[in-house]
Each structure stands twice: as structure tokens, then as C-alpha cells.
Amino acid sequence: MTDGDTEPMPFADLPEFLDALERDGELVRVRAPVDPYLEITEIVDRVVRAGGPALLFENVTGYDLPVAMNVFGTERRMAKVFGAQTLDDVGRRIAELLRPEVPHGWAGLKDALGRLAQLRTAPPKVVRSGSCQDVVWRGDQVDLLRLPALHTWPKDGGPYFTLGLTHTRHPVSGQRNVGLYRLQRFDRTTIGMHWQIHKDSTAHYAAAENAGEPLPVAVAFGCDPVLTYVASAPLPADVDEYLFAGFLRGERVELVDCVSVPLQVPASAQVVLEGWVDPNERRPEGPFGDHTGFYTPVEPFPVLRVQTVTMRRNPIFQAIVVGRPPAEDAFLGKATERIFLPLVKLLIPDIVDLDMPIEGVFHNCVIVSIAKRYPKHAHKVMHAIWGAGLLSLAKLVVVVDADCDVHDYREVAWRAFGNVDYAHDVVHTLGPVDHLDHASYQQFWGGKLGIDATAKLPEEGYTRGWPEIITQDPEVVERVSKRWPEFGISLSDAPSSQRGRR
């Protein structure tokens, strides 16, 4: 999908991406019958934890559609989504676009114009027809029981669709939102909409509810993998997901008008549900074994009444299993960490690098490094993070010096455990937390902790003189490295790296 340093070409749709994975030996077709009640979860969970391949279940008991899973289950596959070698390469594309330097000379001007030209491919375009509408179910034909929903954990409240791109528009501003939300299938025509309090679709529904009007909704499954990733990304409410996806793809996203609701969906989607969410109608939803590793409780959520289902001929459904990390969604989160780093640094220029550990389910822990310049610089960065979009939900912020690799959790632990006076170097405050956070004593808000693990300055009250870190003489390191075969010491059983990232 790439040629040297040229811009990546997009995958046209999900089947094309699966074909590419299969050619690379990164997809296994499971032809044996598998049960969507718990059995698929157990298979996928084992494969994800082993860093295994994407899976295409071709014989799901009770359904005619094959189900693709673990498509995003490694950093390598996530990078492949964007036609890149690494996720940092994708972040660098954004950083190049954001470079503020004034161009110097003809070469600089060409470079600047080239970067701006990338945006011409970004806006989505509406086409007259799309393969997602090859087959149409209307009225009594609608039967969600024919679409493979998974019962992933024993105490789940029922079967769920877990990887649908939910489309809404704000009834006043007209601003589109595309998000990933779990969808509990209640019966042939209704599903529960798990719109958390901090999500943009919740604001759209609230505006419709205030006006006493139903809200149109469309849910697309099995989209081009870039589109599926973008639906998970924490974009600001005024940034169109398909504009951002067009930039990442290097090609405009083709959308098609829905059949029965005033919305647009990706023309290449595999399956689309169209319907309306009525104002003031809610239904108990859950429990659900969520990405926190715990069951989320039953709560009342809006209900989508599906009027139309459209699909491709011979569609492939796509699903995901979430649960105690690591799970497949961890790598969607890692993509966001690396791709959005330039944007975070634009907002908080003090940050050198950032890591959001998978075990912290991303919104719980943020590790950042800074080039410390003045007293309490680390404290300033903590508060900036707690005021930055969805980073505001972070419960623990650890700040280290720039010479610390934030992805090396052993190094970070050494700094945070041994370089901190907890009477002086800790910030304890209150603020918003994730809707799913079960640990907070009050839902939606709770305690925050910031740890300043940087070297302390005399101006901060540290008068003892900060000691120098032990390091080996570089010449000795190089000499021993060259002579290593002479010593006959095998380190094959030792980890090749201490980096915390996968």
C-alpha cells in the first residue's frame, strides 16, 4: 500500500483490507462452527493476548453472515490501516501539516503548498449510489435477529453489536457526529443506544429531546478500516470525522444518502441500520462486560427503532470484544495516542512525548515527559492536561523529564517510585471522570492525582542538590558491544527490550 515515502493509498473497503491481511499471513479463516454466545469471545480473547492474527469466522451458529474480528489487534495491523510502517509515521504526517514555519525560498514554498494540497482530498463527497444499498429490508422485512450480535461475557444483559459507526446530526447546528457505541439488541427492530454523558451524540439527542422531536440515526458496520478508527477518535465536536478520515486516507470518503433517514453513510459499508430515536423514551440497558474489565451496571438509555436495513450482497459483519485489557480496542487507543500527539503538543507545547498505558484503559493514566524550564513546570502541565478535551478524564498524570522514555514503564516506575517526595511533589484534586468509571464515589466526577517525577530545582525548595544519574562511559559500552561474541554469554532468554509498548 506504500511506495517508499509516497503518501499511502487507502483500502477501498473492509474486504480489501482483509485480503491484504490474508496475503501477509495475518488473517485466519475459521471454518469450524462457532457459537456467538461466549465461545467467540473466548477464542478472540486468547488470540488477542497472544498477539495473534485477524479472524474471519465463516460459520457463526444461527447466522448466514461471516464475522471479522481482531482486525485491529496489533500495532502493526493498526499502522497497516493507514499504509504506514508505524503509528508514529501517521502522527508525523499531521505534525508536518501543522508546522508553523514561514516557508523560505522556492523549495520552502513548494513544501508548504504541498502540505496544503493534502487538504483538497479531505472533504467527503456524496455519490448517487453505493454498494451498501445493494439489498434493502423495509418494514416487516427488518429483522435484526438475522444479524450476528455477540453475547460476549456471561452476565451481559443480552447480545450486542459492538462495532457499528453511529451517525447523528445536531438538530440545530446540523453538525455531524460519527461515534462507536455499544448497541444492545433487544428484539427484531429495536436496539439500545449507549450514549455516555461526555459523548457528542448525547448532546444531539438532548437537543432533539428538548425540541420534542425524534432524532434520526444510522449505524454502519464493516466500513473501510480508516473510517472505523476515526469513529473511535476523540475529535472535537466541530471537526467532521469524514474530513479527518479523508486526510488520513489521502482520498475523499464517498458517502451516500440513507434510504429512510436524512443522513449519509459510507457508500462502501457492509451493513447499515436506519431509524429514529424517540424523545423521552429510554429503556434499561446492560449489564455489559466493558473495556474497564468490569461489568457496567444497568442504566436507562435511549432506544433506536430500526425502520430500514441496507447491505451489500454477501456482506461481512465486523465485531469487537472488549474486556479486561489487553483487548482489540487497546490498539485503536494506541493509534489515537500516536496520531493525536502532534495535536496535543500544539495545545500543550511543553509536552515532549506521551504514553497512555493499555492497563490504564487510556482515560485513567497519562504519562508525559517535558523539558523542564522553571519551578512547578510539571504542575502546570498536569492542569493543562486536565483541561484538554477528553484528556480531562485522566485520573492519574505522571510527569517525567525529557530524558525518560515514557514508553519504558520500568524507567517511568523508577522515576515515579524513587524520585518523588510525596509531601511536596503530588497534586490531589477533583474533576470529571469517565462515565464508566466504577471507582469514583460519585458518578461522573472523582479524585485526580498528579505525580511530579521530574528532577527538582532549588527554586522549588529543594536545597540538597539533585544527584546525577548513574550512566556508563559510552566508549566502554561501544567496546563491550563489539567484543560481546568473545564472552560466550547468551542473553537469548532475556527480553530484547524493556519498553512497555507492544
Residue 485 and residue 495: Cα distance in Å, rounded? Answer: 18
Q: Where are the domains of the chain?
A: 14-119, 122-318, 348-460
pLDDT digits (tens, 9 = 90+) for 336-394: 999 989 889 988 999 999 999 998 887 889 999 999 999 999 999 999 999 887 888 99
Q: Pairing state of beta strands 351-355 and 365-370?
A: antiparallel
CATH code of 122-318, in short, is 2.30.110.10
DSSP 445-493: EEEEEEEE-SPPPGGGT--S-PPPPP---HHHHHHHHHHHHHHT---TT
DSSP 73-93: -SHHHHHHHTT-SSHHHHHHH
Residue 152 contacts residue 38 (beta carbons within 8 Å): yes
**H or E element: which one contains 185?**
strand 183-185
The fold of 348-460 is UbiD C-terminal domain-like (3.40.1670)
Residue 491 pLDDT = 82
**502 pLDDT more than 80:** no
**273 pLDDT more than 80:** yes
Residue 106 pLDDT = 57
pLDDT digits (tens, 9 = 90+) for 239-268: 899 999 998 988 899 999 999 999 999 999
Hunting for cell 463527497 — which residue is that? 125
**102 pLDDT more than 80:** no
Residue tagged active-site, from 200, 290, 355, 425: 290
Look up 290 and say whether it is catalytic: yes
Q: Pairing state of beta strands 27-30 and 54-57?
A: parallel
Q: How confident is the model at residue 437 (pLDDT cuts 50, 70, 90)?
A: confident
Residue 442 pLDDT = 87
Residue 101 and residue 119: Cα distance in Å, rounded? Answer: 18
Neighbour tally for 458: CB within 10 Å: 11
